[in-house]
């Protein structure tokens, strides 16, 4: 990841660090499996929270804990002189553009974090997990719209297969448009927003010296500020501070925040050792693991149409990943 950016841009401090790095395939696969289980646990933690903790407040609390978890590594990184976007040699235009993009994508992530929590609450753990796994579909869309990246025929075919699977799941197996669940449509907002933000961030990672951890830190910092403001306006600032003093609320906020943060950091380290296409292949079965957790932990029932839809999405995802592996260009984005 860092090495790719250094080939196109002369950022000495980062270049020196990247030359000392030796990828380890087995380590990359191991880290990818860790991401698989961390991703699968997020919906379970979210839907296990106290029933009186609403989605908006919970989105703020988990973002706040994510920020707290991100702070130590952010400080350590700077103390080791890996200044990234803060190094003095960075052109002010690049710095300004990077800060602007971090602000815009931070806003997008704040909205997607709320819908992430709300989708699992309303659409159900399994259906929402499958819907969110369709993230590559929206990435393809936004890559074409924003950067005019053309896709191969095979990618288009597997994209259409995924759309069929999404429609089948959205109609709860009836194929009737009248049966399309509005809550499933809400769940699709998450990968739609992720697609915009991640494609934009990928371009920023390629054209500026900002580090993945700095991206994560700015993301959760801005998300926390925006979600605090929105929640204060809607639910009242007194309600927010009362929740901060509620041990059970903060316990689930901490659990969701630290798992979410660890998954983000773990993912970036995984793709330093293996191609994103390989790591993504490992994490593709996330909805299946979530389904198992939901069955035994949340005692949710699993419907036949959900299993069929999941298989259709899996086939299309693996097809997209196979065609993606044939391309020379890496992509660091995939979810969260």
CA distance 39 to 260: 8
DSSP annotation string for 164-226: HHHHHHHTTTS--GGG--HHHHHHHHHHHHHHHHHHHHHHHHHHS---HHHHHHHHHHHHHHH
CA distance 99 to 91: 12
Q: Which residues contact 81 (CB under 8 A, 6 or more apart)?
A: 13
**What's residue 141's pLDDT?**
78
CA distance 283 to 41: 13
**What's residue 265's pLDDT?**
80
Structure tokens at 100: 């602007």
CA distance 247 to 61: 12
**What's residue 150's pLDDT?**
72
Q: In the chain, what are the helix, strand and coil shares in percent, each to the nearest 5?
A: 80, 0, 20
For residues 6 and 14, the answer to whether their CB atoms sit within 8 Å is: yes
CB atoms within 10 A of CB 183: 16
**What's residue 199's pLDDT?**
77
Structure tokens at 111: 């909205």
**What's residue 332's pLDDT?**
46
**What's residue 82's pLDDT?**
66
For residues 271 and 118, the answer to whether their CB atoms sit within 8 Å is: no
pLDDT below 50 — which residues of the chain?
Answer: 1-19, 328-333, 335
């Amino acid at each position: 990841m860092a090495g790719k950016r250094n080939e196109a841009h002369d950022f000495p401090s980062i270049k020196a660090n990247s030359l000392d790095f030796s990828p380890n395939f087995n380590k990359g696969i191991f880290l990818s499996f860790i991401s698989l289980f961390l991703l699968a646990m997020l919906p379970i933690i979210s839907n296990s929270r106290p029933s009186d903790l609403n989605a908006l407040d919970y989105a703020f609390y988990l973002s706040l804990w994510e920020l707290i978890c991100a702070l130590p590594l952010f400080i350590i990184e700077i103390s080791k002189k890996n200044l990234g976007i803060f190094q003095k040699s960075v052109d002010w235009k690049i710095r300004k553009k990077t800060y602007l993009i971090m602000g815009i994508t931070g806003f997008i992530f704040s909205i997607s974090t709320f819908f992430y929590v709300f989708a699992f609450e309303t659409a159900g753990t399994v259906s929402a997990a499958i819907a969110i796994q369709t993230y590559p579909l929206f990435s393809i869309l936004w890559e074409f719209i924003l950067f005019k990246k053309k896709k191969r025929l095979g990618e288009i075919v597997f994209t259409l297969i995924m759309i069929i699977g999404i429609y089948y799941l959205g109609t709860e197996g009836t194929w009737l448009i009248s049966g399309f669940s509005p809550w499933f449509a809400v769940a699709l907002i998450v990968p739609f927003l992720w697609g915009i933000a991640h494609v934009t961030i990928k371009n920023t990672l390629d054209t500026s010296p900002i580090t993945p951890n700095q991206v994560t830190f700015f993301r959760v910092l801005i998300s926390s500020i925006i979600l605090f403001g929105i929640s204060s306006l809607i639910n009242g600032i007194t309600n927010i501070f009362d929740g901060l003093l509620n041990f059970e609320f903060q316990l689930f906020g901490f659990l969701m925040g630290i798992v979410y943060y660890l998954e983000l950091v773990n993912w970036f380290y995984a793709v330093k050792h293996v191609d994103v296409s390989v790591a993504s292949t490992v994490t593709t079965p996330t909805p299946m693991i979530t389904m198992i957790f939901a069955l035994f932990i949340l005692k949710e029932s699993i419907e036949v149409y959900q299993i069929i839809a999941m298989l259709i999405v899996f086939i299309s995802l693996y097809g997209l990943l196979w065609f993606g592996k044939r391309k020379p260009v890496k992509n660091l984005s995939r979810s969260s």
